[in-house]
């Protein structure tokens, strides 16, 4: 199972060039790996569309994948633990949503495809599995 971070999805829909975007396009075309879309990622990606037609197309694609709920007390407390542990080691993750997303992946044993350096410390120090592109 693979989760794709919102930054990769946003670049995918905008046509930006990046190895992670190329990897996502290949995975979608192959259709062999189950892609999981956490509801937080769904929100982050779809909220940015300006044109209704593009929003509809993106919504259809993302809703064709496995959308899973995030949140709840257990996930929030796991994210708190990850964040505080990293802070104690001198790392600050800038985005609270990134910490929640990493906690979601760690707790569910999912890999993450991303292009955001905030996840590097979570990989090295907290056991986040990262999909290499």
**Average pLDDT, whole number, for the chain?**
96
What's the confidence (pLDDT) of residue 95? 93
pLDDT digits (tens, 9 = 90+) for 54-70: 999 999 999 999 999 99
**Cα–Cα distance, 104 to 75 (Å, whole number):** 7
pLDDT digits (tens, 9 = 90+) for 8-56: 999 999 999 999 999 999 999 998 899 999 999 999 999 999 999 999 9
pLDDT at 133 over 90: no
pLDDT at 132 over 90: no
pLDDT at 120 over 90: yes
On whether the pTM is more than 0.85, the answer is yes
What are the Cα distances from residue 68, in Å, to 72, 85, 89, 120?
13, 26, 31, 23
Assigned token pair, 88: 């104690």
């Amino acid at each position: 199972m693979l989760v794709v971070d919102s930054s990769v999805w946003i670049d995918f829909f905008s046509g930006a060039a990046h190895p992670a975007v190329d990897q996502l396009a290949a995975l979608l075309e192959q259709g062999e790996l189950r892609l999981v879309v956490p509801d937080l990622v769904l929100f982050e990606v779809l909220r940015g569309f300006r044109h209704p037609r593009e929003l509809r197309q993106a919504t259809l694609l993302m809703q064709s994948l496995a959308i899973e709920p995030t949140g709840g007390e257990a996930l929030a407390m796991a994210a708190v633990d990850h964040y505080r542990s990293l802070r104690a080691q001198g790392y600050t993750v800038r985005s609270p949503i990134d910490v929640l997303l990493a906690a979601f992946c760690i707790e569910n044993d999912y890999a993450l495809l991303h292009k955001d350096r905030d996840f590097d410390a979570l990989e090295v120090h907290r056991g986040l599995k990262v999909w290499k592109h």
